[in-house]
Amino acid sequence: MSLPTMASPTLSPDSSSQEALSAPTCSPTSDSENLSPDELELLAKLEEQNRLLEADSKSMRSMNGSRRNSGSSLVSSSSASSNLSHLEEDTWILWGRIANEWEEWRRRKEKLLKELIRKGIPHHFRAIVWQLLCSATDMPVKNQYSELLKMSSPCEKLIRRDIARTYPEHEFFKGQDSLGQEVLFNVMKAYSLVDREVGYCQGSAFIVGLLLMQMPEEEAFCVFVRLMQEYRLRELFKPSMAELGLCIYQFEYMLQEQLPDLNTHFRSQSFHTSMYASSWFLTLFLTTFPLPVATRVFDIFMYEGLEIVFRVGLALLQVNQTELMQLDMEGMSQYFQRVIPHQFDSCPDKLVLKAYQVKYNPKKMKRLEKEYAAMKSKEMEEQIEIKRCGVGAPVPTGISSELATQQ
């Protein structure tokens, strides 16, 4: 599979004043009317912890410039740590209630639910909550699973080749005869049979592998089917990979609009967005971050969709802009592989906080989608005309090597 040739988006002269990617204004929510006093208190604690994290981030930045402020970050860190221990106890009890009263929480307590998911779903609740989030608990396709495993798929060799490179250091997937590799093969093969247009795509095994770390293979299969159908993943993994082209196009606009100096530097070094961001969209950061951090991003993806990939991606560039501006193409490639993945190991909350400080405008993204579709339609017409005249069309750029470097 290959990545289509992509043109970069251009900023219109008035875009900064009228259509800039700005954070949408939040209207007052009626959620608070549906929350009990205990739930309101928990929401206040979550918001206070966000304030502490933000203060801690700011004090750390000022400490880098001047050692005179070294005490402030220690105070806010200890406060956040103290709050967190109580918060973990409260949220653990609460998540059990959420799972049992799911429909009411989705309908009437959305603000608190969103905050809780952004803080991370507790490990023992992830299997059921992920299924509830994507409505995969009662899917008819689950009844087909055992029959699909008895069939053969034209993708089997490809799947076998790739599963050995999927989480090779994780105990569950270690070794050719491991249970992890076997169930991963089963789910990927079953999906290739129910969706023959997509079949199997490199990168999707990382998503299925994460699901299998949380739940049995039949349930993982149902969740993956739902993610492909409802979360734009199927469009990302289609042979044409047109949706990946769109995501890169939209991300380039955000980069150009919010970090123009870094965008200019990338261009001067021929450091194309697809070189570092393709795997972010195709594997949802599962080949970028260690699992504890990547799983936090995945929690949010399950509730809010691909928006979190744009937010986290741009947050990473914002945090690292100064360092990246000093590097050439080779240096930046190494930096993306060796430095960026481990910057938030000790505090994933700070990554999430920075992601939600990124400006993101859904209406603008929709406009870019229409713009991209019109551009691709025009390109297709031109290619038809070129073929009619007997001239070969350009060969699209591949992404296999880019994904390989992330594994």
pLDDT the model gives residue 28: 39
The CA distance from 233 to 89, in Å, is 35
Instruction: Say what the pLDDT of residue 242 is.
Output: 87
DSSP character at residue 151? S
Query: pLDDT-derived band of residue 46, with 50, 70 and 90 as boundaries?
Result: low
397 bridge partner residues: 3
3-state class (DSSP) for residue 2: strand
Cβ neighbours around 345 below 10 Å, total: 12
- With a pLDDT cut of 90, the percent of the chain lying above it is 64
Predicted local distance difference test score (pLDDT) of residue 19: 39
Can you give the pLDDT at residue 4?
Answer: 41
pLDDT of residue 392: 52
The stretch 193-217 carries a mean pLDDT of: 95
d(Cα 380, Cα 220) in Å, to the nearest integer? 37
Residues 334 and 274: beta-carbon distance below 8 Å: no
What whole-number percentage of the chain has pLDDT above 70? 74
CATH number, domain 139-234, options 3.30.70.940, 1.10.3720.10, 1.20.1260.10, 1.10.8.270: 1.10.8.270
Q: List the chain domain ranges.
A: 96-134, 139-234, 240-370
Helix or strand holding residue 398 (H, E): strand 397-398
Query: For residue 397, what are the contacts with CB-CB under 8 A and spacing of at least 6?
Result: 2, 3, 4, 5, 274
Q: What is the pLDDT of residue 259?
A: 97
239-277 per-position pLDDT tens digit: 888 899 999 999 999 999 999 999 999 999 999 999 999
pLDDT reported for residue 307: 97
Measured in degrees and rounded to the nearest 5, phi and psi for residue 154 equal -65, -10
The stretch 94-114 carries a mean pLDDT of: 92
- Tens digit of each residue's pLDDT (9 = 90 or more) over 133-171: 999 998 999 999 999 999 999 999 999 999 989 999 999
- Mean residue pLDDT across the chain: 82
Q: How confident is the model at residue 47 (pLDDT cuts 50, 70, 90)?
A: low
What would the two tokens of residue 43 be?
């929401």
What pLDDT does 273 receive? 96
The model's pTM: 0.79
Confidence of residue 102 (pLDDT cuts 50, 70, 90): very high
| CB-based burial label for 236 (10 Å; 0-12, 13-18, 19+) | buried
327 band by pLDDT with thresholds 50, 70 and 90: very high
**Residue 107 pLDDT more than 60?**
yes
Answer yes or no: is pLDDT of 375 > 60: yes
What whole-number distance in Å separates Cα of residue 95 and Cα of residue 124?
A: 10
pLDDT confidence band for 289 (50 / 70 / 90): very high
Regarding the domain delimited by 240-370, which CATH topology (the fold level of the hierarchy) does it fall under?
Answer: Cyclin A; domain 1 (1.10.472)
Task: For residues 113 and 403, give the distance between their C-alpha atoms in angstroms, rounded to a whole number.
Answer: 34
Confidence of residue 60 (pLDDT cuts 50, 70, 90): very low
- Band the pLDDT of 58: cuts 50, 70, 90: low
Average pLDDT over residues 90-103: 88
- Secondary structure of residue 320 in the 3-state scheme: helix
- What mean pLDDT is predicted for residues 356-362? 96
Note the Cα 398 to chain centre separation in Å: 21
Q: Is the per-residue pLDDT at 400 higher than 50? A: no
Amino acid at 224: F
